[in-house]
Amino acid sequence: MVKLEKNEVRVAVFILFPVLILLVFVVLKLGYSFASSTKDIYLKVDSISSIKNGTQVKVKGYTIGRVVEIIPVYQPALHFLAVMRVENEIAMYEDCTAVIQNQNIIGDTIIELRNPETKQELLKEYAVIEGIEYVNLEALLQDVHVMLATVTSTVGVLRDISLDSRSNIRVLLGNLSRSVETVSTVLNDSQKDIIEIMRSFRKTAKTMDEISTELKRHPLKFLMKGDK
Amino acid sequence: MYVSVNVPGFIKKIVQRILSTWNGVQSFYFYVVSIIKSFKSIRYLRFRSLYSIVVNQTRFTGIDALPLLMIIALMLGGTVIIQAHTNFPKFGIESFIGNLLVIIIARELGPLATAMIVVSRSGSAIAAEIATQTQNREILSLELMGIDTKLYIILPRIIASIIAIFSLIIIFDIVAFFGGYLLSISTVYIPIGVFIQTLLDAFSFNDLFLTILKSLIYGILIPLIACYYGLKPRSNFEIPIYVSQAVVRTLLVIFVINAFISALFYF
Amino acid sequence: MDTACTPRGEIVTLENVSYSYEGNRLINDISISICLGEDIVFFGAENSGIDFICQLIVNAAGEFEGDVFFDGRPIKDFDEIEVHNFRKGFGYLQRNFGLINNMDVFENIALPLRYHSRLTSREVDERVESMVEYLKLEHCARRRPVHLSSSELLRTSYGRSIALDPDLLLIEHPLEEQCLLNVQVFMSALQNRAFAPHKSVIIITYRPELYTEISERFVMLHEGRIVFDGSTDEFARAENPYVKQFLQASIDGPMQML
């Protein structure tokens, strides 16, 4: 038996470790899978209200696997990865879509995988698919009902608003005609006063003429008149 | 009849520099040719006499360099991921992170950083060891024993260097990948399975072939240049000068060859 | 001296060899033959040329004039591979020992066996262990050269040079920097080797008188020429003026010393 020294053992491990890694790489690259007949695929979803452990995964209605684990992911925003363990034998392509939907009105949620129309590279293990969530029928009807109620109440509010507005306009028009009447009265009253003011202006002008004539004739007398 | 021409000093210096570089290249060429010729006597060589040298050199070049190499690999892997997160949108990063690591680390940084570590540690050590052995007349003593020193000294170092660099590049890549992964999960969650799968998808057989090719070329060149400069000193005081030259020239050659290979295979 | 060789003939022959280095003529037209099994001491003063004899024999001195024959073949004709193969036929103990500093005593002695021999690793280990025991190096077998004393370095280097059991052993200045009390193990091992048939030893030294019980032939060089080539008795009688001046360490004589 060959006896190896400590150095030789260390060097042997140092050489064999990378060689082993490379061998595993080559084997994996050549497409050999160490796993059995199933592979794990991740489904990325925003909420897990509709899927749970055991949710069936189907293709064209045929069950090919189930959700086996749901992993919460905190970054960059909270979302979830559902691990779907599916059969290897059904060929799924890279651009396939995953639709989360109800089986029927009262049935459970299922994940329906749909292949693209053209053939592509096969979906690899641990690939991530974005989940598209279909809202279920009951929730849809409820939403429609809520929407109709909201529309009805909105129409009522609009009618109330229009009724209230009509009386307010009438009051407003009355007030407006009264304001016009007041303004015409003020104008009529002002006319007499204006004539009187004009007459007074004329009188004042006449007086001023007289003063100026007197001032021309006897300026000193006029000036001294006041002192006496 | 000779015509005397006044040549400016700087032109003279440039010409002298070119001539000296050319002489250096010629001298290295003859050295390589003499090594190739000495392979004729390989049939007289008992490989067991090289075995302990190969083991010791592999240990020194490879295993002893592992702690340093792993730290550098972790840091580089982390740096690449940090830069990727800073400069790329986070959405969908899990799909291209493998490609990014493979392109930057496996193709370029891994082999280059490994070669730099080996040159600075082992290249300098080989040059200094050979220079000291020459000055101590150990090389002459081997020659007088009928030992082909070119094969006995250079060949085992080349074998050890190829083995060590190949293993170091693989280990560097693995450590850098997982260093990068560990850092990346602090900001973006990527399942380990997805990460490995994207790495596997991104790392092609072409990359594997180039990793092997680079480890072969570096493994041959590093000890070859180190031994060339190790055999040069004619006195003890010249040893540090030639050791320094050995490291600088080897680094230069490695950068040039790395660029050449990248241009040849990826351009 | 009668230089007729045994039937197996001459192991090394230098024929009109001259050697210059940087314009200085260090070896000047030397011709000498060394027979298999013959032990020979080359001595002389500094710069006499003795330091280049071994280098010329192993083809490590560079270009030279004349011819050196090894087993009848001119070593100038050897290509690089043949030089390596022919050198493993020698044991060479250098003046500064030339031990590999990053190997311990055991590994230094095992080195030529691991590189050249066809022995299994276990056989190599066994042979080295017996060599370590023979040279009394057990206590320092796992020590590196920097931790050895002068005599331990000498014995390790000697062990390495005879590991392949070569026919010709070349030794340069082995005892010049040694305490004579500590080299008895080495001297006894060297004597055993020198007395072994078909094993030759060439010793280069400044102290030839220490080897009178080992060697049967003494050759003195001065200014690159052979000035004395004689037996142990002739050397001991010191009738040759060069030998006489050398042994008496006198400044009076045919050699002008600086």
Q: What is the pLDDT of residues B136-180, one digit of tens each?
A: 889 989 988 888 888 889 999 999 999 999 999 999 999 998 888
Average of per-residue pLDDT across B71-91:
77
A221 CB-contact burial (10 Å; exposed 0-12 / middle 13-18 / buried 19+): exposed
In this prediction, the residues of chain A whose per-residue pLDDT falls under 50 are 227-228
Lowest mean pLDDT among B1-10, B244-253, C249-258: B1-10
Between chain A and chain B, the number of residue pairs with CB atoms below 8 A apart is 67
Residues in chain A with CB shorter than 8 Å from the CB of B86 are none
pLDDT confidence of B55, banded at 50, 70, 90? Answer: very high
Per-domain residue ranges of chain C: 7-89+197-250
pLDDT confidence of B95, banded at 50, 70, 90? Answer: low
| Mutation target vs A (from B54, B56, B59; most A CBs, 10 A cutoff) | B59
> How much is the pLDDT for B81?
78
> How much is the pLDDT for A83?
87
pLDDT confidence of C5, banded at 50, 70, 90? Answer: low
Instruction: Give the pair of three-digit tokens for residue B72.
Output: 């550098």
Average of per-residue pLDDT across B39-67:
87
**In chain A, whose CA is at the least distance from the CA of B61?**
A11
Measured between CB atoms, which of C60, C107, C112 is closest to B143? C60
> How much is the pLDDT for A138?
63
- Cα separation, C173 vs C51, whole angstroms: 9
Backbone torsions φ then ψ of B124, nearest 5 degrees? -65, -40
Lowest mean pLDDT among A57-61, A218-222, B105-109, B213-217: A218-222
Which class does domain C7-89+197-250 fall in?
alpha beta
Collapsed DSSP state (helix, strand, coil) of residue A44: strand
> How much is the pLDDT for C1?
46
The residue behind tokens 């009509």 is A166
Query: Does A have 3 or more CB contacts under 8 Å with B?
Result: yes
Given a cut of 80, is residue B128 above it in pLDDT? Answer: yes
A120 reaches B (C-beta below 8 A): no
A22 reaches B (C-beta below 8 A): yes
Residues in chain A with CB shorter than 8 Å from the CB of B201 are 124
Q: What is the pLDDT of residues C219-238, one digit of tens each?
A: 999 999 999 999 999 998 88
Given a cut of 60, is residue C7 above it in pLDDT? Answer: no
Backbone torsions φ then ψ of C94, nearest 5 degrees? -75, 160
pLDDT confidence of B89, banded at 50, 70, 90? Answer: low
Q: What is the pLDDT of residues C93-152, one digit of tens each?
A: 988 888 999 899 999 999 999 988 888 889 999 999 999 999 999 999 999 999 999 999
> How much is the pLDDT for B93?
58
> How much is the pLDDT for B90?
55
How many beta carbons lie within 10 A of that of residue C106, not counting itself? 21
> How much is the pLDDT for C258?
64
Task: Check CB contact under 8 Å for B167 and A15.
Answer: yes
Q: What is the pLDDT of residues C157-169, one digit of tens each?
A: 999 999 999 989 9
Task: Check CB contact under 8 Å for C98 and B144.
Answer: yes
Residues in chain C with CB shorter than 8 Å from the CB of B52 are 107
Per-residue burial over B184-217, b if 16 or more Cβ lie within 10 Å, else e, is: beeebbbbebbbbbbbbbbbeeebbebbeebbeb
Task: Check CB contact under 8 Å for A11 and B62.
Answer: yes
Measured between CB atoms, which of B38, B45, B138 is closest to C100? B138
Per-domain residue ranges of chain B: 51-266
pLDDT confidence of C87, banded at 50, 70, 90? Answer: confident
